[in-house]
Structure 1
Amino acid sequence: MTSVLSQSETLTHLEAYVAQAERAELVKQVRAKIDELGIQYIYYQFISVTGRITGKGVPASHWESTAERGIQLVYGAMANLFLDRYGNYIGYGPEASELVAIPDPDTFCQLPWDKRVARVYCTCFRNREEPEAPGAYLTADCRGNLRRIHEQFQMEHNGLHLRHGTEPEMMWLKKGPDGKPNGGATQPYCYHIDQFEQLRPVVLRVIEYCNAMGLDMIQGDHEDAPGQLELNFMFDDALRTCDRLTTYRQICAQVAREFDLIACFMSKPFMGLSANGCHHNLSLWYGGDDTVNDLGLETLPGAEGVFRYRKGGENTFLPDPELSKTKPGPIGLQSIGGVIEHLGALTAIGCSTVNSYRRLWDTGLWAPVYADWGFQNRTCGLRVSAPGRFEYRAVDSMVNPYLMAAAIIKAFDDGIKRNLDPGEPEERNLYEAMEAGKQVKKLPMSLGDALQRLDEDEVIKSAMPGEMYRVYSWYKRDEWEKFLATTTEWDTEMYLSCLP
């Protein structure tokens, strides 16, 4: 839909959003799709601070009125309605008002595992009756923030925009008699086709559902941890990629229920074995056109927007042949410089849990712990993985992709505006280079340290405008403090018999 940044200032953000010129037609198109597909029930969903999918279900007969008025939930849903260690609701107390979530019709899609049900993503606003800023964008809405941050970036850089793809690793675990994890569904043999074959029914079910929900699946493999798969889908515009990663997680959770498995997105469930990363492959483009990819389906089981991909245009990360045959072009180098400049703060978003740092501390497993870049060099935090893109590696499977994409856009913006130079690419094994005397900054190695780096970085904090940073910081600092205040099995094993 058309950007709402240009809408009349006489309307509230909510009113302007609902009044967008083409929205009424999209609402009608969704009604036609509801009738065509026999949809009876719709999930209206938005994304919490941790990337959790939150919302309500409404009978499809109420589509038109809900499209106009939205659904209401307490503001605290943005922080999963969780309590901190002192018993306070994180972000918003029980006295706070209720947000209004307005559906985005172009994200409407049938659920392939129960075709009576559909889902639609929402943009969130402050309540219409709030005494201050009624109907304004809810700044604790990470998905809405990403859209607005990306639009602002495009306005300031002549249409330059982020396209990215993710590599979502996760593990398929068996259930024990108590329903808890009981090891991986396969052995930890990387790229082993026989292990991949053991999970073939799971893989094919995931791909079937993904195609039905607009994900153009491109490749997959068995990774080197028990039951660990990486199934990739085509890169696209930033917001659609984040929506698809979120959808992919929903699909995996459903397939796990169907096969009585556990879809594990925890970053590091097993020590001594690879963790679940979620590398981001990034590029900045001018131009291009949205095209519908029907993925071989006879009829689209959802709005066209779900099946659109941005194609063509100018990839500014490709090498400039007049300057180098291998290095990214100037915008690409400046963007790499921006990420390296802000890598410490970015780590608080890309490695967002206490468990994330088990991944960084488990040595010998290609952990991306240093702020350097190179070509196909997995010892660096960033690598040019192919001409025209680079891979940001300090991000794992628990990431909130909307926060991550917004923060990367801010890092790119700073790199471009300040013409930041990332230096020469490192071709050596970075660990050996450091032993030879190279000085390289290290990533923060705990959630507490990363949050401190984030607090000191105004550029990356600007990716969390308004209330977003307050809610995120509160939630994550509480998580860190709860960990520090908890006695674990490790404590008992380490200290129970140490004296006398």
Structure 2
Amino acid sequence: MAFDISATDIGRDLADPIREERIERVRAKIDQLGIKYIYYQYVTITGRVLGKAVPARHWERNARKGIQTWLGGITNVAADMHGNLYGFSANAGESLAMPDPETFVQLPWDKRMARVFCTLYHGLEDAHSPGMYFTADARGNLKRFEREFRDAHDGLHLRLGLEPEMAWLRKTEDGGIFPYEGITKTYAYHIGQFEGARDVWTQVMEYAEAMGLDMVQSDVEDAPGQIELNYSFDDALKTCDRLTTYRQIANEVARQHGLVACFMAKPFMGAPAMGCHHNCSLWRGDDYQVVRTVDGELPGMEEMFTYNRGGVNEFENKEDGWIPTELGRHALGGALKHIGALTALGASTVNSYRRFADVGLWAPIGANWGLQNRSCTIRISSPDRFEFRAVDSMVNPYLFCSALLKAIDEGIREKIDPGAPEDRNVVEVMQSGEDVKLIPMTLKEALDALAEDDIIREAMPGRLYELYDLMKRDEWQRFLKEVTNWDVERYLDCLP
């Protein structure tokens, strides 16, 4: 029997007439902008960007047939501490990276170049799932989970605003234990310090706006080199794509200036960490509007410059101040119930938990919610949204948002009550010895919480949970087997 591609996920997606219209619009953009090469990129389980570059003259063929890439790319083409490739053998098959035409945009630092995000599928020759979604692709999963959430809740959807803190570092002349220093000093909001980094952050802002990020406000913060540049909120997938774009822009600007664009959660103890707070609201109704961040011809697809600005915020209680609506409370209840497993995805590295251990420096530790209470992991930061704070700048946002949607979905379906908001400072309560529930304080604790959470693991279908757990348990074991500078300084000559 001949293989019927129309019965596969890839066949159904290719048959979408909107896709064909977008493919044609991309060709027009290629010709208008003089694009010579296109990066076909996808995002790995840990949030890295992989892919291939192809001459733009092959656009139509690649848009309809995809780009072949090894299945194990999704685990960073990396090996565990024993030298074994994570989850895939060297002889594993190929996946198909199918470009999402609506994400096509020119690279402002080299206008011959463009990029497009891809969704991953099993190859058509795959023995078990030919042409079906490759469910280890967290970005592809979020696309589907967004649609499912809307369908299950009469058009309700998550809109998201992120706070992508990061550190801009340069090498020190004398080296040392940590041979990097910030390009700014630890004076939060200090315009003089911000001015000293102006050449860097203005270049990031200009590149970002050329790629469709609606930049809204920025400042220098109180860790060495720490700068936060914010862009406007939008539907979850588009906001996550913009975070990935922002990271790539920062990396390019750092390369041009001989700096390091550091997204590591905690490069300096005794100073605040690099958080990536997720500000969440729940809406019904849509009104997609083009936000013109550049003059003249848009340097990419119109969808890259479009933001959802209409509808009703179902989280905000306009009659009762800062206490959310009933639906909003249920959403909080779902997130609170699954807070440990969510932390395993939001704080995804060994280093992430240095942020929580260094108490009193803005990071949350309480497994609770509160009104303007930064010691709580879930904070009502404004009457119209809640902020999930146990997320740092190493997060894979697609994976975390998929899990958050699953938690909120259960909260709404089961009408989970989050209880009363916490008004105490959780750090002070903990230090006093009083009883208070904390989020996981090590990566291992968080992974154990994830292992016990069936709902959050629904956001990690197929082999995704297995692969994430494999990579992160290996990271924990590597950490335990490492002799650090702390060990040497503490124990080298402590006896007799």
Q: TM-score, normalised by structure 2?
A: 0.96
SS of the equivalent of 1:413 reads helix
State the shift of 1:470 in Å. Answer: 1.0
State the shift of 1:9 in Å. Answer: 9.7
More divergent stretch after superposition (173-182 vs 29-38): 173-182
Separation (CA, whole Å) in 2 of partners of 1:51 and 1:89? 18
Alignment partner, residue 204 of structure 1: 202
SS of the equivalent of 1:272 reads coil
Change (3 A) 1:436 1:361: closer
SS of the equivalent of 2:375 reads coil
More divergent stretch after superposition (437-446 vs 368-377): 437-446
Q: Which amino acid aligns with 1:206?
A: V
State the shift of 1:178 in Å. Answer: 9.2
Q: Is the 8 A contact 1:165 1:282 kept in 2?
A: yes
Q: Are 2:331 and 1:335 aligned?
A: yes
Separation (CA, whole Å) in 2 of partners of 1:111 and 1:10? 34
Alignment partner, residue 480 of structure 1: 476
- Please list the CA deviations of residues 209-256 of structure 1 after superposition, one character each: whole Å capped at 9, or x if unmatched: 000000000001111001100000000000000000000000001111
Q: Is the 8 A contact 1:169 1:231 kept in 2?
A: yes
Give matches, 1:96-495, under 5 Å. Answer: 96-176=92-172, 181-321=179-319, 324-433=320-429, 439-495=435-491
Q: Which amino acid aligns with 1:291?
A: Q
State the shift of 1:387 in Å. Answer: 1.5
Give matches, 1:16-165, under 5 Å. Answer: 16-165=12-161
Change (3 A) 1:437 1:251: same
Separation (CA, whole Å) in 2 of partners of 1:329 and 1:164? 18
More divergent stretch after superposition (406-415 vs 418-427): 418-427
- Please list the CA deviations of residues 414-446 of structure 1 after superposition, one character each: whole Å capped at 9, or x if unmatched: 111111111112233233456788643211111
Q: Which amino acid aligns with 1:269?
A: P
Change (3 A) 1:129 1:111: same
Q: Is the 8 A contact 1:173 1:181 kept in 2?
A: no
- Please list the CA deviations of residues 351-392 of structure 1 after superposition, one character each: whole Å capped at 9, or x if unmatched: 000000111101221220111111111111111111210111
Q: Is the 8 A contact 2:8 2:131 kept in 1?
A: yes
SS of the equivalent of 2:418 reads coil
Change (3 A) 1:181 1:18: farther
Q: Is the 8 A contact 2:204 2:249 kept in 1?
A: yes
Separation (CA, whole Å) in 2 of partners of 1:438 and 1:233? 40
SS of the equivalent of 1:57 reads strand
Separation (CA, whole Å) in 2 of partners of 1:66 and 1:469? 30
- Unpaired segments of 5 or more residues in structure 2? none
Separation (CA, whole Å) in 1 of partners of 2:321 and 2:287? 27
- Please list the CA deviations of residues 316-357 of structure 1 after superposition, one character each: whole Å capped at 9, or x if unmatched: 111152xx2321111111111111111111111010000001
Aligned pair count reads: 491
Separation (CA, whole Å) in 1 of partners of 2:194 and 2:293? 23
Q: Which amino acid aligns with 2:219?
A: D
Q: Which amino acid aligns with 1:193?
A: I
Q: TM-score, normalised by structure 1?
A: 0.95
Separation (CA, whole Å) in 2 of partners of 1:457 and 1:305? 36
SS of the equivalent of 2:38 reads strand
Q: Which amino acid aligns with 2:278?
A: H
Q: Is the 8 A contact 1:108 1:119 kept in 2?
A: yes
Change (3 A) 1:17 1:181: farther
Separation (CA, whole Å) in 1 of partners of 2:105 and 2:31? 13
Separation (CA, whole Å) in 1 of partners of 2:58 and 2:180? 43
Separation (CA, whole Å) in 2 of partners of 1:435 and 1:119? 50
Q: Is the 8 A contact 1:267 1:276 kept in 2?
A: yes
Alignment partner, residue 4 of structure 1: none
SS of the equivalent of 1:22 reads helix
Separation (CA, whole Å) in 1 of partners of 2:94 and 2:389? 37
Separation (CA, whole Å) in 1 of partners of 2:270 and 2:488? 21
Alignment partner, residue 3 of structure 1: none
Q: Is the 8 A contact 1:183 1:226 kept in 2?
A: yes
Percent identity of equivalent pairs? 55
Q: Are 2:493 and 1:497 aligned?
A: yes
Q: Is the 8 A contact 2:5 2:131 kept in 1?
A: no
Q: Is the 8 A contact 2:41 2:115 kept in 1?
A: yes
Separation (CA, whole Å) in 2 of partners of 1:43 and 1:420? 44
Please give the root-mean-square deviation of Cα atoms over the aligned residues, in Å: 1.6
Separation (CA, whole Å) in 1 of partners of 2:461 and 2:339? 19
Separation (CA, whole Å) in 2 of partners of 1:266 and 1:309? 29
Separation (CA, whole Å) in 2 of partners of 1:98 and 1:9? 17
Change (3 A) 1:441 1:331: same
Q: Which amino acid aligns with 1:14?
A: I
- Please list the CA deviations of residues 53-106 of structure 1 after superposition, one character each: whole Å capped at 9, or x if unmatched: 010000001000000111111111000011011221102111210110000000
